[in-house]
Structure 1
Amino acid sequence: MCGITGWAGDPPKDPAVIEKMTALLDHRGPDDRGIFTSPSAHLGHTRLSILDLSDAGHQPMVLDDLVLTYNGEIYNFRELREQIEAPFHSDSDTEVLLHLYRIHGDECVKYLRGMFAFAIWDTRRHRLFVARDRLGIKPIFYRKTTDGIAFASELKSLLELGRPPLEDGAISDYLTYRYIPTPNTVFSGIHKLPPAHTLVWEGGRTTITPYWTPSVLPQITDAGQAIEELDELLGRVIPEHSIADVPVGVFLSGGIDSAMTASYLDKPLTITLGSEVPHRNEAPAARQVAQHLGTRHFEDFTGAPSLDTALDAMPRLFDEPLADSGAWATSTVSKIARRHVTVALTGEGGDELFLGYKRHGLQATQRLTALNRILARLVPPLTDTGRSLERRGLTGFERYAALSSSFTRRQKRAILSPRLSGEGKDDLWYFRQHWREDLEPLQQARWLDLHTYLPDALLTKVDRAGMAHSLEIRPPLLDHRLVEFALSLHPGLLRSADGATGKLILRTLMKDRLPAGHLDRPKIGFNLPIRRWVRSRPEIFRNALDRLAQADIIRRPKINHLGGEQIWSLLVLDRFLHG
């Protein structure tokens, strides 16, 4: 795992600018730093040494006319290396990637199994090629300028070129989605490269092209066949994702996904973050799994941070608003894990692939009543009851969008200033862009989650929280072969007919491999006590609302009751703007 940055164009930038941009990513790669400079391009790299710890893995790496700066891991690099007839000077996946591009050009991404974001500068053709992995595990931002294009692993590096104005539409979108949807950022003119896309800059022109779209037609309806094939696939994929020349561990919570990940490894090192709040503490369940699997287990305990401590961490982690209160816990467990390992495997992606979220069950059992629609218009929108009735009065796309949103459309109209709630604005444009009318309801929900919430919120949180502590976090369940397999399963193999139970296939697969009762535990999570904080210190939320109103972000309406994640969304936005 590393940090990458660079610029291409004419006339050349001062190399000192690229050095500053690169230095801002030292937390992503504290082991080495490299700069490539030329008349038309500068590339920077900070290295977290994972494979081939020698200086032979130094980046940016040069091969003839090609210069590469690369972040990620290619799990099939040794297999690819055997197919390439060329002298190698390292045992790194970086050098394999360079040779692969030399042979296959832009098509090289189709041969890769892994997580990655990289840029290759062709010094002869004056051509920049940038790519991002299929699921969006690794980030890459870009910024077109009057004289070229710049890119970086994190926004903070691109802000070194000057801080652009905020994008009003992005702030409005944030209150719908809890994140800024791709390809936008909160800053005007800075964009995210979407997952499974490449970018080419040549002759002053930028071309962005998709290279992977998985099939979503369900082909497997037999449970026995599905379990057998899944077992075989997990047995190959998870060990592949543990390759490293440094210590590797597994984040172990009280859930199914992390326990399953650990079970396919040979007595791995496992790490758990316990809570001093009993009803939030997953440490006993994780400890039981660790004993059952015979892992080398470490656990640490923490109480909730202060509200100010948690809020102050958000802008530093993400450089733009992202309202996932679980980010603090992910950052904390990453800090703890870094004492023991350099790489940690995690169970991210299991809920999206195997329909594990509560909203999946609600979508599957939707029942529209005209009464709910009528009542929703009568109840104040900025209440729990108003929000619930609005959701219950919807079906199909509108319902799942409301279940997945922070503020519903009616709530946004009540709270946003007229400047941001412009007439005719489609608040749900991002969800609409990825909604598939040709699929069944649960397939629609899964497809939407994989293309929106997963890369823009969940994987963003995991990447920044881990990299803040120089920890590489790998989600093996998001290997694209597993994703393609999961999408081939009929939804009836994943969610019960009454919608109450998800991940059916995982439960069947793991029932004899985990401690008795483990699969019956309710999902807990490690979210922050936001409502309790606001009840004990109401002035913090009140002052935040006042500042947002003075900035013409909200109307400052009477708010009777909001959910914890809605309060957190507003607090994070205020801290980003005024912290």
Structure 2
Amino acid sequence: MCGFCGFTGDIADRENIIIGMMNKIIHRGPDSAGTHSDEDVTMGFRRLSIIGLEDGSQPMYNEDGSIVICFNGEIYNYQPIKEMLIEKGHVFKSHADTEVLIHLYEEKGEEMLNDLRGMFAFAIYDMKNKKLFAARDFFGIKPFYYGVFNNHMLFGSEIKSFLAFPDFKKEVNTVALENYLTFQYSVLDETFFKGVYKLKPGHYLVYKDGKIDIKRYFQPKFEPEKAGLQDTIKKIEDVMLDSVKTHKISDVEVGSFLSSGVDSSFVAATFKGDKTFTVGFDYEKYNEIGYAEKLSEKVGIDNYSKIISTDEYWDSLGKIQYHMDEPLADPSAVALYFVSKLASKHVKVALSGEGADEFFGGYNIYREPMDLQITRLIPKPLRKGIAAIMKALPFRFKGKNYLIRASMDLEDRFIGNAKMFSEKERERILKNPTGKYNHKEITKPYYDFTKGQDDVTRMQFIDLNLWMVGDILLKADKMSMANSLEVRVPFLDKEVFEVARHVQPDYRVNREATKYAFRMAAKDYLPEEVASKKKLGFPVPTRVWLKDEKYYNIVKTAFQSEAAQKYFNTDKIVKYLDDHKNGKADNSRKVWTIYMFLVWYNQFFGNEEKEAC
């Protein structure tokens, strides 16, 4: 919907400073701009008009001008909330959902958040109480960053807006780098920019008298309940159809992304829109366009597609990492950038399938507890002994990794959908390792919260809180907004989660399929082969490219650069690259993780900051 930025406290030339900050995020809202500035707080807003086209400009105020808000997102149940507030005497001046938030805050204060159904990040300044109140939605669909610099609290939708603030100190957080190398995304609360933090999903922040107080208002929790399969399928079907319908509320046309997976296919088949959008690569095994065209034809909607050439992909990497704000080593982010760019030529809003895997148990790795079940008959000391022998063997063979993982407890082997470098590996490649943190220190609070539950539920909870927020939703927001497109995610809905959290484990993952009950619900809307299709993700041929002389040399140059020498033992990282090229090991994901950091670093800390947007 938009982007916002702001800072507290008085400063010389504050009106021009906020305009400079807003210009850094103009891609988030090219339709209009607005500011509020006084000696206590200054706010800037860039608008992408979706709801309340004529009267939804921000910052927006209450009746007496004592409360001001900047809001990014959509409140899907704003109409019934508005009716309730009108009955209580509140007077509305617009048709926008933003104004509902102002009056709901007047009515309920910080207790307002659980009334909402939607995706949101907002900042409200209460002038009478001299208080800034900010919140992020239940699952982290919309971003919110903050930090205190020279007694000014900065806040906004993107970190890059902070760069235009005169007292902002731009410095790499090396602890973030160290943990990124393990997780492939920025996993800590403190970002890659030292002193800048992410507000966690389901949390709100109050800034008053120079102090920040952060509290949780929503805690997702899986509580499986025994139920009949058909009843479960019916509940999933009903809540998903309602959510897709609700996510179409808009004053502009809504389209849908479409890959070959069951998630986006279900959304595309049920959203009753006119346009779907698909991208593929110029490699046969990495192209889903043919499938998307067939499904679109079957359900009677138009499909728009684009082939991403290899050179296009590589040429876009700098821009991708700039828009991401923090390095992300997920190769599919580029595909999301290009499908967003394609969709933005036709619509302002697109639906997408993020969240289905975390809610309903879709990732293939969730089958591992079943696959390892037989090994639990072997005493643990013996399993560990076998694993030690396997690790000592210098060659690879089928089953080696299986035997190693069989010796490990869930907390040791699963940190989420990606695990790149172990602590020992990153200690070897980093020039100045800090030792912070062991991955178990990061996952421990989530494993502790789910103690006593089945392994699949615990894995889903890890992904819901870490992987989904740090990777899936980061790229969904940043890649779509880079193209002035709003992406909505019907699976990541409060009402959908209320159904999903009660689904029993064997209806999520079993011998037949992952996401089992959801696939059954989708069968009435999709061809059998689609509803039953194995989870693929968005395939990207990075392992092929990194063996090609042209792209190998591009990465090798980066691995020997001044930036690489600052942070890495370059001989060690070049060896990862060479071993991959020579077929000694598939190091493509590890190589990509390092390379994406260096691309990101060049954008923000190169000789001069790149203006990629």
Interval of TM-score (by shorter of Structure 1 and Structure 2): over 0.9
**Counterpart for residue 552 of structure 1:** 567
Q: Does 1:156 align with 2:160?
A: yes
Mean Cα displacement is larger for which, 373-382 or 111-120? 373-382
- Give the Cα–Cα distance (whole angstroms) in 2 for the partners of residues 190 and 503 of structure 1: 37
**Counterpart for residue 611 of structure 2:** none
Tell me by how many angstroms 1:380 deviates.
6.0
Tell me by how many angstroms 1:364 deviates.
3.7
> Residue deviations 1:467-514, cap 9 Å, x none?
001000000100011112111111100111x4x620111221122321
Task: Count residues with an aligned counterpart.
Answer: 574
Question: Quick check: 2:317–2:334 contact (8 Å CA) kept in 1?
Answer: no
- Give the Cα–Cα distance (whole angstroms) in 2 for the partners of residues 263 and 72 of structure 1: 24
Question: Quick check: 1:381–1:411 contact (8 Å CA) kept in 2?
Answer: no
Question: Quick check: 2:10–2:38 contact (8 Å CA) kept in 1?
Answer: no
Closer, same or farther: CA 204–269 of 1 in aligned 2, 3 Å = same
Equivalent of 1:240 in 216, 224, 246 = 246
**Counterpart for residue 522 of structure 2:** 510
**Counterpart for residue 120 of structure 2:** 116
Secondary structure of residue in 2 paired with 1:227: helix
Equivalent of 1:529 in 541, 544, 547 = 541
> Residue deviations 1:333-362, cap 9 Å, x none?
101101111000001111111111121112
Closer, same or farther: CA 382–315 of 1 in aligned 2, 3 Å = farther
Equivalent of 1:420 in 430, 433, 437 = 433
Q: Does 1:74 align with 2:75?
A: yes
> Residue deviations 1:276-333, cap 9 Å, x none?
3221221222222212222233233333335641432332121221111101100001
Matches within 5 A, 1:478-497: 478-496=492-510
Question: Quick check: 2:69–2:102 contact (8 Å CA) kept in 1?
Answer: yes
Q: Does 1:566 align with 2:582?
A: no
Specify the code of the residue in structure 1 equivalent to 2:68: V
**Counterpart for residue 472 of structure 2:** 458
- Give the Cα–Cα distance (whole angstroms) in 2 for the partners of residues 133 and 234 of structure 1: 19
Secondary structure of residue in 1 paired with 2:354: coil
**Counterpart for residue 49 of structure 1:** 49
- Give the Cα–Cα distance (whole angstroms) in 1 for the partners of residues 481 and 395 of structure 2: 39
Matches within 5 A, 1:359-438: 359-366=365-372, 367=375, 369-379=383-393, 390-401=404-415, 404-417=418-431, 419-422=432-435, 425-435=437-447, 436-438=450-452
Specify the code of the residue in structure 2 equivalent to 1:550: Q
Closer, same or farther: CA 549–347 of 1 in aligned 2, 3 Å = closer
**Counterpart for residue 501 of structure 1:** 513
Tell me by how many angstroms 1:234 deviates.
1.4
- Give the Cα–Cα distance (whole angstroms) in 2 for the partners of residues 545 and 391 of structure 1: 31
Matches within 5 A, 1:271-290: 271-290=277-296
- Give the Cα–Cα distance (whole angstroms) in 2 for the partners of residues 342 and 458 of structure 1: 21
Secondary structure of residue in 1 paired with 2:346: coil
Question: Quick check: 2:278–2:289 contact (8 Å CA) kept in 1?
Answer: yes
**Counterpart for residue 4 of structure 1:** 4
Tell me by how many angstroms 1:402 deviates.
7.5
Tell me by how many angstroms 1:15 deviates.
2.1
Secondary structure of residue in 1 paired with 2:219: coil
Question: Quick check: 2:175–2:434 contact (8 Å CA) kept in 1?
Answer: no
TM-score, normalization by structure 1: 0.94
- Give the Cα–Cα distance (whole angstroms) in 2 for the partners of residues 309 and 388 of structure 1: 38
Closer, same or farther: CA 379–578 of 1 in aligned 2, 3 Å = farther
**Counterpart for residue 127 of structure 1:** 131
| Runs of 5+ consecutive residues of structure 2 not aligned to the other structure | 377-382, 580-584, 604-613
Tell me by how many angstroms 1:405 deviates.
1.3
> Residue deviations 1:230-262, cap 9 Å, x none?
122112111000011111001111110011112
RMSD: 2.3
Secondary structure of residue in 2 paired with 1:535: coil
Question: Quick check: 1:7–1:148 contact (8 Å CA) kept in 2?
Answer: yes
> Residue deviations 1:377-404, cap 9 Å, x none?
4246999998776545422111112863
Secondary structure of residue in 2 paired with 1:188: coil
Question: Quick check: 1:391–1:403 contact (8 Å CA) kept in 2?
Answer: no
- Give the Cα–Cα distance (whole angstroms) in 2 for the partners of residues 278 and 126 of structure 1: 59
Mean Cα displacement is larger for which, 170-179 or 4-13? 4-13
**Counterpart for residue 193 of structure 1:** 199
Tell me by how many angstroms 1:197 deviates.
0.5
- Give the Cα–Cα distance (whole angstroms) in 1 for the partners of residues 317 and 303 of structure 2: 31
Specify the code of the residue in structure 2 equivalent to 1:29: G
Mean Cα displacement is larger for which, 66-75 or 435-444? 435-444
Question: Quick check: 2:135–2:203 contact (8 Å CA) kept in 1?
Answer: yes
Secondary structure of residue in 1 paired with 2:194: coil
**Counterpart for residue 463 of structure 2:** 449
**Counterpart for residue 139 of structure 1:** 143
Secondary structure of residue in 1 paired with 2:567: coil
Question: Quick check: 1:361–1:495 contact (8 Å CA) kept in 2?
Answer: yes
The percentage of aligned residue pairs carrying the same residue is 31
- Give the Cα–Cα distance (whole angstroms) in 2 for the partners of residues 554 and 208 of structure 1: 39
Closer, same or farther: CA 204–387 of 1 in aligned 2, 3 Å = farther
Specify the code of the residue in structure 1 equivalent to 2:36: F
- Give the Cα–Cα distance (whole angstroms) in 2 for the partners of residues 372 and 112 of structure 1: 52
Matches within 5 A, 1:174-189: 174-189=180-195
Secondary structure of residue in 2 paired with 1:542: helix
> Residue deviations 1:89-131, cap 9 Å, x none?
2111011111111111111111110000000011122110000
Question: Quick check: 1:143–1:158 contact (8 Å CA) kept in 2?
Answer: no
Matches within 5 A, 1:200-279: 200-279=206-285
- Give the Cα–Cα distance (whole angstroms) in 2 for the partners of residues 531 and 250 of structure 1: 29
Question: Quick check: 1:7–1:41 contact (8 Å CA) kept in 2?
Answer: yes
Closer, same or farther: CA 323–286 of 1 in aligned 2, 3 Å = same
Secondary structure of residue in 1 paired with 2:85: coil
Mean Cα displacement is larger for which, 476-485 or 135-144? 476-485
Specify the code of the residue in structure 2 equivalent to 1:546: Q
Tell me by how many angstroms 1:31 deviates.
0.4
**Counterpart for residue 606 of structure 2:** none
Closer, same or farther: CA 37–376 of 1 in aligned 2, 3 Å = farther
**Counterpart for residue 60 of structure 2:** 61
Secondary structure of residue in 1 paired with 2:388: helix
Closer, same or farther: CA 144–263 of 1 in aligned 2, 3 Å = same
Equivalent of 2:297 in 269, 291, 296 = 291
Secondary structure of residue in 2 paired with 1:102: helix
Closer, same or farther: CA 288–522 of 1 in aligned 2, 3 Å = same
Question: Quick check: 1:52–1:92 contact (8 Å CA) kept in 2?
Answer: yes
**Counterpart for residue 328 of structure 1:** 334
Closer, same or farther: CA 258–574 of 1 in aligned 2, 3 Å = same
- Give the Cα–Cα distance (whole angstroms) in 1 for the partners of residues 225 and 49 of structure 2: 41
- Give the Cα–Cα distance (whole angstroms) in 2 for the partners of residues 370 and 108 of structure 1: 51
Mean Cα displacement is larger for which, 255-264 or 271-280? 271-280
Mean Cα displacement is larger for which, 309-318 or 200-209? 309-318
Closer, same or farther: CA 381–195 of 1 in aligned 2, 3 Å = farther
